[in-house]
Amino acid sequence: MPVVSAEAARYEVFMKNLTALQVLVAALSTALFACSSPPPQPDPEVGPRALTGPSVSIMAFNVENLFDTVHDQGKNDVAYLPLAVKQNDPVLMAMCDEMTTEYYKKECRETDWNEKVLDVKMARVAQVIRQIDGGMGPDILLLEEVENKNVLEILRERQLADVGYDTIALLEGDDERGIDVGVMSRLKEWDRPILHKVPFKGANTKESERASKTRGILEARLLLEDGTKLSVFVVHLPSQSNPKWMREQALAHLNLLKSQLPADVLAIAGGDFNVSKGEEAKEHFIANMLAPNWQVSHLVGCKGCDGTSYYHPLKEWSFFDVLLFAPSMKASGPAKWVLDPLSIRIPHDVREQINQWGQPNRFSLATGVSDHWPMFAKIVLVK
């Protein structure tokens, strides 16, 4: 047997003890990690990711007075007619004098809304629409402040002939100026559109009759690619010049229409809700009436967005333009089609959309498109 020195023996014992200690520490570390380590978390620098799968894009856009150049009988559309037509017709000029303010009277008498002006307006509107999907526009386009179906057909033929908007839905409402809401889409219809008249109830009969002369809620019935039925409600609620109870009642009726849909029909709504930032702070229409019943575009997405409309006297941004999605269209919901919150944005990259102060640029022959910016989102087929 070989002779081992005392020093060598001590070193051998030290190494055995060290090895045993390392094994013990490794075992304890493994056990502790298995018991207490939290699940992997998303990288805060990356954040949540956009949904993937077949998608449908939706945009709501108030195009600001998109009229054709022909007088619609029974409507006061005289401000948006060629000047030569108005000046040669005393009846039309008399209608200008019936305008409520001197500003509108002057505008009616002097505006020359001819074919050249209409072409310029439509070209700029088309530029805004073509910001989406590589120049092809959204799959579903909700439009407010359009005069009639004829003007939408002109827009399609002159500016959007290649995008495939085979479906146009617009039904004439009771607005005295003749402005309506409409839908242009690449999707087919599963049934004919419906115009729902809001049953306004004022303090008296006169108030109720006056309130009734406004735009209804258009329901366009579209078919998604997998056969799912979709009802799209388009709104242009009474403006801020009207009493707040009109907007409140219109919102209540929209919620009622949604609740009456068959279980197999998805619901999306959008348009110009005309609820200002100041009104929302006082009345909480969006917070109390919309948020409990819908996914509201600027509440679930569009982070960092200021608004879609700007009111200069109060220096106030508002989300007049909103898209709404049924709660069932959440990622955790039962619907196959899901809202992608990261897709929600305000498209305003066209130079003509922005004035020198960085706000929506009203239309004139020299510049501008609309006093509103649109709201955009996508839904994705995930199940």
Picking from 264, 255, 332, the residue whose alpha carbon sits closest to that of residue 294 is: 255
Torsion of CA 272, 277, 279, 284, to 10 degrees: 90
CA distance 344 to 378: 7
3-state helix, strand, coil in the chain (%, to 5): 35, 25, 40
pLDDT, mean of residues 301-327? 97
> Band of the pLDDT at 12, cuts 50, 70, 90?
low
pLDDT higher for 341 or 39?
A: 341
CA distances for 373 relative to 242, 307, 310, 347, angstroms: 22, 8, 10, 7
pLDDT, mean of residues 19-34? 44
Block residue for tokens 């220096």 = 315
CA distance 286 to 213: 24
Q: What is the pTM of this model?
A: 0.86
Residue type at position 41: Q
Residue type at position 375: M
CB 175 within 8 A of CB 181: no
> Band of the pLDDT at 48, cuts 50, 70, 90?
low
Whether residue 8 is predicted with pLDDT greater than 70 in this model: the reply is no
Give exposure, 226-260, as e/b (b: 16+ Cβ within 10 Å): eebebbbbbbbbbebeeeebbbbbbbebbbebbee
pLDDT higher for 359 or 33?
A: 359
Two tokens at 316? Answer: 């106030």
CB 274 within 8 A of CB 240: yes
Residues 6+ apart with CB under 8 A from 179: 65, 144, 145, 146, 147, 215, 236
Residue type at position 112: D
Whether residue 15 is predicted with pLDDT greater than 60 in this model: the reply is no
> Band of the pLDDT at 50, cuts 50, 70, 90?
confident
